[in-house]
Chain A
Amino acid sequence: MFKMFSGLKASAAALAVGAALVVSGAAEAAKVRVAFGDIASVESLHLLAAFERAKEQGVDIEVTYLKSEDIAAQAVVGGQADIGVGGPYALVQKVKAPIRMFLQLSTLRFYPAVNAQFYKTWKDLDGQEIAVHSRGSGTEAIMKLMEDRQGIKFSKISYIPGSEVRTGALLQGNVKATIVDSAGRRLLETQAPGKFVILPLEGVSATDEALFANTAFLEKNAADVDKIVEAIITTWREVTANPAVVTDLRAKYKLLPDLPAAQVAEIVPYFQELAQGKAFPLNGGGAAAAKDDFAFYTLSGQLTGDPASLKVEDFWDTRSLDRALAKLGTK
């Protein structure tokens, strides 16, 4: 009797160990590795918070920070990461990499800024030199688009990577016309009010960052992807309704605890400005965003061919987004 009991105990133990192994194996397989193309900063707080929410829904997310978007895209193509952050249109078109975007995170938000001493309007930039981020970048495409629309011609486009570097150059007077991000714009307005003019920019809409993954991963992990997409759309809508919520989310999930005080003070103004500018895609982009991107990125040189001939399904997998929107409704 005793013997039988001990036998039972042993087999129960074996069963428990086995079950634990299976569970841990499943957990291992379900780990979603996300590759950022940049270090975490104030600008990614809302995304990090959304990932925390997805984690609460049972998605095991591991975030790594790589040096550039290109490298993040290569990591996804090579299978070292599951989900990347960026806009890999060129990679999909030119080398037929089996990756698809599935959620738009942000649209390009840049502000053409000029020294008011020399220029006041777009027309004043005719025949003048401007500075943008790099060749083939979104900032260059925006400036070229405006060149076309305004019927002007820049004498030279020089390349200065880093919006903060261009902002500094503008403040120091090394550059008279350039294009900066919202942090740069705010810096210009606080450091030298009235000294710089922000030129109007209308009708420019293109993806700055999106989430993308291997097609095989999207097939196999649809449930996880759905949860991530839902978490992000919910968070985006919340932040748009009340930008100050980012501070609460940061406190709740202990995100970027080492942020210096000066940057902590930037959080609310940053998200307020983006929320006012409707910079957070409330419906996750999808086919409409893809169409805008085709027009924009063919101009910038990332994509080639006639924008009308490009197919959304070659670049996007909208199934998760469609399911999320069916559940959450569109805004």
Chain B
Amino acid sequence: MMAPTQVDGPVRAVHPPVEGGFSLRQYPAFWRMASLALFFLAWEIAGRVPISYAFPTFSATFAAFLSMLFDGSLFAAYGETLQPLIIGIAISGVIGIVLGIVMGLSRSAEWLVAPLFIVLQAAPMAALIPLITFVYGIGLVAKTLAVIMLALPVIVLNGYKAVRNANPSLVAMCRSFQGTKLQQIAKIIIPDASPVIFAGLRLGLAAGFIGVILAELLITPTGIGDLITYHRSVANYAEMYAAVVSIILVSTLTLAALEAFEMRVLRPEKRRG
């Protein structure tokens, strides 16, 4: 599982502090920018060689990105792409957390439901998505379902593990204070499990991004999937790469914002550390 490593907070906490000079601790933003700049430089060189006729340079891609940003085509595309993503994540979030908590609390629910989600999580979704169209056609329902198929297992399994591993001494404390079963769940178990549940939501959103793009590439081209397919079909490779990079950018920024929110609201102790 990826959850525990993610939950442990930012990576910089793992590095020993470096003394003096241009250290990571003093200038983390600088080193991050340098890493990106190096990557873009390598891209530019690879594009100029060129490694393939269909591989644009970084500068051409960046120019295409700006032109798509200013002519509004990127915004229009995201308007379409975010629809199934948001609906799918909302449904997966609600169902996933409820199912996860129920499974964490009840062994029989766990035996009934867990195997399905473990199998779903291991299944190669790209192969299953075309099958959705046989039942649900090619509309919004099919795409939302693709998002749910990718996001739900992660959210359910994280929620279930978080609840199952709630701190036993806190639970014992609740019992010794004569707390009812309901109080035990609402006041002890769920608050204690919430950071890991939230991490599950974050991973679910990342999976949802994969789901929505797969759906747009495999079911019908809309939104970002349409930009990618269209520009590929008319050989505008810079625009095609720009669309691909934009979705990476959007998903990275969304996940980073969610992580920042998580740090601030759910685990203030980690921020200080």
Contact = CB atoms under 8 A, between A and B. Distances in A.
Interface stretch (A8-16, A17-25, A159-167, A312-320): A159-167
* Most chain A CB atoms below 10 A, which of B52, B222, B233, B234: B234
A70 B138 contact: no
B226 A135 contact: yes
Interface stretch (A94-102, A223-231, A232-240): A94-102
A301 B52 contact: no
* Most chain B CB atoms below 10 A, which of A74, A77, A97, A135: A135
B221 A135 contact: yes
Given A77-B52, A78-B52, A160-B220, A94 B234 contact: yes
Interface in B212-260: 220-222, 226, 229-230, 232-237
Contacts of B220: 159-161
Interface in B30-77: 52-54
Contact of A77 (B53, B232, B233, B236): B53
Contacts of B52: 77-78
A301 B226 contact: no
Given A160-B220, A165-B138, A90 B53 contact: no
A136 B233 contact: yes
Contacts of A77: 52-54
Contacts of B138: 160, 165
Contacts of A134: 221, 229-230, 233
Nearest to B55: A95
Contacts of A204: none
15 contacts: A70-B233, A77-B52, A78-B52, A90-B233, A95-B53, A96-B53, A97-B53, A135-B230, A137-B233, A159-B220, A159-B221, A160-B138, A165-B138, A301-B234, A302-B234
Main secondary structure of the interface of B (DSSP, over half): loop
B230 A95 contact: no
A214 B143 CA distance: 39
Given A95-B53, A136-B234, A161-B221, 8 more contacts: A77-B53, A90-B233, A95-B235, A134-B233, A136-B233, A137-B233, A160-B138, A302-B234
Contacts of B221: 134-135, 159, 161
Given A77-B54, A159-B220, A70 B230 contact: no
A40 interface: no
Interface of A: 70, 74, 77-78, 88, 90-91, 93-97, 134-137, 159-161, 165, 301-302
Contacts of A96: 53
A74 B230 contact: no
* Most chain B CB atoms below 10 A, which of A74, A94, A302: A94
Contacts of B232: 70
Contacts of B229: 134-135
Contacts of A160: 138, 220
Contacts of B234: 90, 94, 136, 301-302
Interface of B: 52-54, 138, 220-222, 226, 229-230, 232-237
A264 to B, nearest CB: 24
Nearest to A78: B52
A90 B54 CA distance: 11
B226 A159 contact: yes
Nearest to A301: B234
Given A135-B221, A161-B220, A165-B138, A74 B226 contact: no
A94 B226 contact: no
Contacts of B237: 94-95
A136 B235 CA distance: 11
Contacts of B226: 135, 159
Contact of A136 (B53, B54, B230): B230
Contacts of A74: 54
- Nearest 9 pairs of A and B residues by beta carbon: A90-B235, A94-B235, A135-B230, A97-B53, A95-B53, A90-B234, A91-B235, A136-B234, A136-B233
Contacts of A159: 220-222, 226
Contacts of B53: 77, 91, 95-97
Contacts of B235: 88, 90-91, 93-95
B214 to A, nearest CB: 14
A165 B130 CA distance: 14
* Most chain B CB atoms below 10 A, which of A93, A159, A160: A159
B73 to A, nearest CB: 11
B54 A95 contact: yes
B134 to A, nearest CB: 12
Nearest to B50: A95
A118 B117 CA distance: 47
Contacts of A135: 221, 226, 229-230, 233
A88 B54 CA distance: 13
B72 to A, nearest CB: 16
Contacts of A301: 234
A77 B54 CA distance: 9
Nearest to B139: A174
Contacts of A161: 220-221
A143 to B, nearest CB: 16
Contacts of A165: 138
A212 to B, nearest CB: 13
A49 to B, nearest CB: 29
A167 to B, nearest CB: 14
Contacts of B222: 159
A196 B226 CA distance: 30
